[in-house]
Amino acid sequence: MANIEEIRTRVRLGEFEVTNGHTTDFPGSYSGYDDAWNQVKFEKKFHIDVIRLTDRDLEFDMVGIDCAIANAFRRILLSEVPTMAVDKVFIYNNTSIIQDEVLAHRLGLIPIKVDPRLFEYRTADDTEGTPEDTVVLELKVRCKKNPNATKDTTDPDVLYVNHKVTTNNIKWLSQGNQAALFKDGIHPADEDVLIAKLRPGQEIDIKMHCVKGIGKDHAKFSPVATASYRLLPEITLTQPVEGALAEQLKQCFAPGVIEIDNIDGVLCVVSVDSAVCCRCAVGCVCVLRARVAAARKDTCSREVLRHDTIKDCVKLTRVRDHFIFSVESTGALPPDVLVTEAIKVLQAKCRRVLQELEDVDSDDQ
């Protein structure tokens, strides 16, 4: 029974293969197990733990769901949470060495820090836009010589003025009541991102229309730089690993995964040759023993399985329903807001499916 339980809940990493990778969480997979959907049981098991949260990065654990649902969240984050991005570029003057279409493409990929929930989708036949669906930005830069530069200098930053065109040069042109709605202004999510380089006499004069869209239509609307998940690693020592083998085991994993103690439980660091203990007298007989300190840090490289001396001492698995999510925002919205919006999108999809099923039932009757 214990073996069946492991097959149901763990993915096993072998030397040359990965086993138990298929999903079996449905009724009838295993005799004696009730895998039927139970909301009470699901709510008791399911939970989300936030591990790290910054302005751009979020790491959290989602526990108690199937891989298909976890992957749905990832895909929605990538392609269905809306943002604002440059959609139309009106080039009045561009004498830089960058071609118009390349410059327009680069501008389109600059994340704009503005809440898309405050805007509507722009209709396909609307060419002008309205304050409710369009943000207008301007990029107007002209390079000239610095009259105060010394004759012997060769540094472009000293020789020229405005020779680097960056996102700091992009200005927001308020439309309608946008100034009252966005008191902090609208601007690119990152400062000092290089767009182009100019020389005296060269000029860029551009206006841009930013509209609301989703990553499924174009990658420039994707709100995340990365959105990924991995299963929680689990490392089990099947037998004590001591002495030189303990140090060898430690070197097979990422830093912090395996630590070495003496048999009394006091941290004991081994010397390079693993013959003596650096905290005890030279030539002491201190017994060193390895322990799993932080399996979460493991990268699942399976390096340990290459060594015949220790590969039988370790069992590598991953918890099937424990997902470690990493979300990196482009800066348009905080990562916790993006996850919340992804959940709302999935809820809307579920409601739409249920409604369609109800409509089919009513038609049949």
Domain locations in the chain as residue ranges: 1-81+223-238+310-365, 83-222, 242-294
Residue 266 pLDDT = 47
275 burial (CB, 10 Å; 0-12 / 13-18 / 19+) is: exposed
Residue 284 pLDDT = 55
CB 207 within 8 A of CB 170: no
Query: pLDDT digits over 56-85, tens only?
Result: 999 999 999 989 999 999 999 999 999 999
Query: pLDDT digits over 218-264, tens only?
Result: 999 999 999 999 999 999 999 999 989 999 999 999 999 999 988 65
At residue 63's C-alpha, the angle toward residues 61 and 67, to 5°, is: 100
Minimal CA–CA distance to 288: which of 298, 308, 307, 273? Answer: 273
**Which residues fall within 8 angstroms of residue 318, CB to CB, at 6 or more apart?**
10, 11, 13, 231, 232, 233, 234, 300
CB 126 within 8 A of CB 88: no
Rounded to an integer, what distance in angstroms lies between the CA atom of residue 286 and that of residue 280?
Answer: 8
Element spanning 136, H or E: strand 135-142
Superfamily of domain 1-81+223-238+310-365: RNA polymerase, RBP11-like subunit (3.30.1360.10)
Q: Is beta strand 203-213 parallel, antiparallel or unpaired with respect to 288-292?
A: unpaired
CB 166 within 8 A of CB 194: yes
Query: pLDDT digits over 177-198, tens only?
Result: 999 999 999 999 998 999 999 9
Residue 21 pLDDT = 82
Residue 276 pLDDT = 46
Model pTM score: 0.84
Strand partners, 326: 59, 228
CB 207 within 8 A of CB 138: yes
CB atoms within 10 A of CB 329: 26
CB 296 within 8 A of CB 324: yes
Q: What is the CA radius of gyration of the chain?
A: 29
- Cα 19 to the center of its chain, rounded Å: 27
Report, as ranges of residue numbers, the positions in the chain whose pLDDT lies below 70.
1-2, 263-286, 365
254: left (phi over 0), alpha (psi -120 to 50) or beta: beta
Superfamily of domain 83-222: DNA-directed RNA polymerase, insert domain (2.170.120.12)
